[in-house]
């Protein structure tokens, strides 16, 4: 099981839409997916669930079935976190081979920020309660992934460098950085890279000071897996010049700012192994997908995908299939074969089940 966070401290790059569509692609490929909405805006949750379901999950009061509900005892200082509620995502069985489980986001999650901020320095004083606070997200994710039998966990976070994101990132095995081809993303890399290295170093310093040997703590790996260009406009599958200029500068900046290389060199974007994908802005498909409450790459004529939209759906599918393959390869996620993706598949009926990447 791999935990992958999609993170950029610059907002508006399509990060939440990326997590949404990639989770559906992995489900279609036969993986059991756990999606965790750790952005206090809870936009990912609203993409998966309709208003009627949200009204049930977000009633007046304690919100017991959200991430915030699981954290309530810690926030109030009256105990440890409660087992998280696994919310099944409604799906059409004929389209997806495996289920998606969701840890429901909550607009009140920002209430946990101050607790996390105060606990971070206390870990240096060997304060067990501080370690329990900082590791709450990690232990929640592990508990939920174990219950769901998840093959991969995708985390969505807000666009900032605050205490919530620091606690989420140290719980992640890998970090994928969605980018827009503009100056703001360049500056975002310059802020994000040093923050990741600082958080990793500070957590490495704190880990040996944990006084509770039985407490399950994250390792703080947060290994950069690469970057994804989002929402660029293309003509004949080539970015327009205004975007291409910024895209060509990203490979060097990624190496210098994120990988901490002294000289990023002159690397061509098309030859950069850290560029996981270049996704177009499927502007015409996204409103249809939101209306149909399904990913863009499975839209049908009944959803409005007719004429030129049909080709856009096919192109979108190809893009996300390739992206899923790239992320799986870099992060060690085992994507099942077509036979394994069948609902009738059983390892007992095969001579030898394919081994997964580790």
Using one digit for the tens of pLDDT, what is the confidence trace for 151-209?
999 999 999 999 999 999 999 999 999 998 888 888 889 999 999 999 999 999 999 99
The answer to whether residue 59 scores a pLDDT higher than 90 is no
pLDDT above 70 as % of the chain: 88
Q: pLDDT tens digits, residue range 252-283?
A: 999 999 999 988 678 888 889 999 999 887 77
Quickly state the pLDDT bin for 119 (edges 50, 70, 90): very high
Q: What is the pTM of this model?
A: 0.89
pLDDT of amino acid 237: 52
pLDDT of amino acid 349: 30
Alpha-carbon span 234 to 35, nearest angstrom: 30
2-349: CATH architecture: 3-Layer(aba) Sandwich (3.40)
Quickly state the pLDDT bin for 346 (edges 50, 70, 90): very low
pLDDT of amino acid 269: 87
pLDDT of amino acid 231: 65
Return the minimum-mean-pLDDT range out of 279-288, 294-303, 317-326, 336-345. Answer: 336-345
Q: pLDDT tens digits, residue range 10-28?
A: 777 789 999 999 999 999 9
Alpha-carbon span 181 to 167, nearest angstrom: 28
pLDDT of amino acid 343: 34
Please state the domain extents for the chain.
2-349
pLDDT of amino acid 181: 85
Please compute the mean of the pLDDT values over residues 58-64 and round it to a whole number. 77
83, with CB counted inside 10 A (0-12, 13-18, 19+), is: exposed
pLDDT of amino acid 11: 75
Question: Strand 100-103 to strand 33-38: parallel, antiparallel, or no bridges (unpaired)?
Answer: parallel
Phi-psi region of 253 (alpha: psi -120 to 50; beta: other; left: phi over 0): alpha
Please compute the mean of the pLDDT values over residues 101-107 and round it to a whole number. 95
pLDDT of amino acid 357: 30
One DSSP character per residue, 218-287 reads -----EEEEEEEEEE-EETTEE-HHHHHHHTTHHHHIIIIIS--S------GGG-TTEEEEEE--TTTHH
Arithmetic mean of pLDDT over the chain? 86
Report which of 186, 180, 157 is spatially closest to residue 278, judged by C-alpha positions: 180
State which H helix or E strand residue 81 sits in: none
What count of Cα atoms within 13 Å lies in the side-chain half-sphere of residue 330? Answer: 22
Contact between residue 143 and residue 82 where contact means Cβ atoms under 8 Å apart: no
The answer to whether residue 245 scores a pLDDT higher than 90 is no
List Cβ neighbours of 349 (8 Å cut-off, separation of 6 or more): none
Q: In terms of pLDDT, which residue wins out, 342 or 196? A: 196
């Amino acid at each position: 099981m791999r935990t992958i966070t999609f993170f950029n401290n610059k907002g508006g790059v399509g990060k939440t839409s990326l997590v949404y569509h990639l989770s559906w692609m992995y489900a279609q490929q036969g993986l059991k997916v756990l999606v965790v909405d750790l952005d206090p805006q809870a936009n990912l949750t609203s993409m998966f669930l309709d208003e009627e379901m949200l009204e049930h999950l977000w009633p007046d009061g304690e919100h017991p079935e959200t991430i915030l509900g699981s954290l309530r005892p810690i926030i109030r200082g009256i105990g440890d976190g409660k087992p998280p509620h696994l919310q099944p995502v409604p799906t059409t069985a004929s389209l997806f081979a495996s289920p998606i489980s969701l840890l429901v986001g909550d607009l009140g999650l920002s209430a946990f920020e101050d607790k996390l901020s105060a606990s971070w320095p206390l870990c240096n004083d060997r304060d067990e309660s501080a370690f329990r606070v900082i590791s709450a997200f990690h232990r929640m994710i592990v508990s939920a992934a174990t219950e769901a039998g998840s093959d991969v966990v995708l985390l969505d976070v807000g666009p900032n460098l605050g205490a919530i994101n620091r606690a989420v990132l140290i719980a992640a095995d890998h970090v994928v950085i969605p980018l827009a081809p503009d100056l703001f993303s360049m500056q975002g890399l310059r802020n994000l890279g040093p923050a990741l290295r600082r958080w990793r170093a500070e957590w490495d310093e704190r880990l040996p000071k944990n006084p509770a040997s039985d407490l399950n703590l994250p390792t703080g790996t947060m290994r950069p897996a690469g970057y994804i260009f989002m929402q660029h406009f293309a003509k004949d599958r080539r970015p327009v010049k205004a975007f291409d200029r910024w895209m060509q500068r990203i490979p060097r900046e990624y190496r210098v700012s994120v990988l901490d290389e002294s000289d990023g060199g002159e690397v061509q974007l098309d030859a950069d192994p850290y560029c996981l994908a270049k996704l177009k802005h499927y502007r015409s498909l996204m409103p249809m997908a939101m209306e149909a409450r399904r990913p863009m790459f499975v839209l049908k004529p009944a959803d409005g995908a007719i004429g030129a939209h049909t080709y856009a759906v096919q192109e979108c599918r190809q893009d996300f299939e390739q992206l899923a393959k790239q992320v799986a390869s870099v992060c060690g996620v085992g994507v099942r074969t077509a036979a394994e993706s069948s609902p009738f598949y059983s390892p007992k009926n095969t001579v030898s089940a394919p081994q997964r990447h580790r």
